[in-house]
Amino acid sequence: MNAFDKNTSVVIDDAQLLADEAKYSSFGDTVHYVDPPKIFRTCAGSYMYDTAGTPFLDLQMWYSAVNFGYGNKRLNNVLKQQIDLLPQVASQYLHQTRIELAKTVALDAKKKFGLDGRVHFNVGGAQAIEDSLKIVRNARNGKSLMFAFEGGYHGRTLGASSITSSYRYRRRFGHFGERAMFLPFPYPFRRPKGMTAEEYSDSCVNQFARLFETEYNGVWDPKTNQCEYAAFYVEPIQGTGGYVVPPMGFFKGLKKVLDQYGILLVSDEIQMGFWRTGKLWSIEHFGVTPDIVVFGKALTNGLNPLSGLWAREELINPTIFPPGSTHSTFNSNPLGTSLGLEVIKMGYELDYETTVPKKGAHFLEGLRDLQKRHKEIGDVDGLGLALRAEICTDDGFTPNKELLDRMVDIGLAGDLEHNGKRIGLVLDVGGWYKNVITFAPSLDITHEEIDLAISLLDQLLTKAKKG
């Protein structure tokens, strides 16, 4: 009997589960990265465990939704206590932690950005993006066109797909007449030859600014001083795009153009929020003030679907954005808001602003050492514990998706070795060419676990290169 048996009345074996999944489940709501798909049974800390009890060191933590580790006792206890106190309440009524969480986020933003604002809740990241689009359209008299970045990802609902650069998320769902205009994002590793990263960053800003030179550049009416586009949606560090970190001066240059022409800046923190980069919001690293911040994922450490946004007062006060402007039945459920409140309290109490950069530096140092031993690692970079390793051919530059795919398969097979025992490795694939390992380990990962991760990556690369 396995460890998970005591908590489950009936344990169905993997083969039967996979057969049932193939027959009864929609494949449209998941992604099958490996064949057959992997089934996990339990989890704790930085690890997940399969049916055989093999541990898998997770370096992606549910796409950065479980920033604070699997089975975090402090957060689990909050959930358990809330179930006995007030597990449900319709979203048109109020409860304490909803109000406390909104106040906590708003006061934090006031301290950091110097602006009054309000917090608005929903149930998932894409849904919060949808709400932000309503706020932007409403504040800009119905303007529905947005700017966004090449390589950007904001979700797969219809509205979020319109500002996500990948056509494959829109291809089968009709014509998107209000699709965003996608601008180049400064990707330091793949910048044009002869340019420094900073020069490339300036070039991207200048390319954007050029749109406003005359009425014939397509977005600006100089006679009325109006832009056809309402907002610029940004991920300060691209998530699905491959954890690309732009030069530190990039957003200051971009924001200068936005402010000049009255365009709102919306910071998508769904993947990079809650100390993933060492700050509550990743935009804090870049010295600019957003008009809207959208968040989700790690707000509840993956224990409850809750998301939200902060918007400055002028955009979201009840006069301009009245009750009923958006609605979702579960949008501020007490299980989620109690968890979110505890996540923010815990983050500041445990000083993730100090610990995450230190752990990130240690992890990055290990990746750079690994890069010296494997010429197929073309680039390593990161901010806090949002890290990247770009897998290439042996020229160190040409994308090598095939090699990374083999690495993912080997990691999920659980055939690596540590102290004479089997162990697996959970990786996430991202990047413009699907050749980037995007690392989002638990923020509570230990230095010893980081060293283990580097050792396992070394094994993984060595095995994968042998085919």
Instruction: Show Cβ contacts of residue 287 under 8 Å, excluding neighbours closer than 6 positions.
Output: 248, 251, 252
pLDDT at 6 exceeding the cut of 90: no
* Tokens encoding 442: 């638990």
Q: Which amino acid is at 73?
A: K
In this prediction, residue 1 has a pLDDT band, given cuts at 50, 70 and 90, of very low
What percent of the chain clears pLDDT 70, i.e. is strictly above it? 98
Structure confidence by residue, pLDDT tens digits, 87-126: 999 988 999 999 999 999 999 999 999 999 999 999 999 9
C-alpha–C-alpha distance, residues 170 and 73, integer Å: 40
* Tokens encoding 339: 């968890």
- Ordered structural domains, the chain, with CATH: 14-60+352-465 (3.90.1150.10), 77-349 (3.40.640.10)
pLDDT value, residue 452: 98
Average pLDDT, stretch 177-197? 95
The number of angstroms, rounded, from the C-alpha of 157 to the middle of its chain's C-alpha atoms is: 16
Residue with more model confidence, 35 or 47: 47
- Are 380 and 454 in contact by the 8 Å Cβ rule? The answer is no
C-alpha–C-alpha distance, residues 88 and 324, integer Å: 20
Contacts within 8 Å (CB) and 24+ apart, 7-14: 13/51, 14/39, 14/51
Q: Which residues pair with 430 in a beta bridge?
A: 436
Structure confidence by residue, pLDDT tens digits, 330-371: 999 999 999 999 999 999 999 999 999 999 999 999 999 999
pLDDT value, residue 10: 86
In this prediction, residue 167 has a pLDDT band, given cuts at 50, 70 and 90, of confident
Structure confidence by residue, pLDDT tens digits, 243-301: 999 999 999 999 999 999 999 999 999 999 999 999 999 999 999 999 999 999 999 99
Q: Which residues pair with 221 in a beta bridge?
A: 226
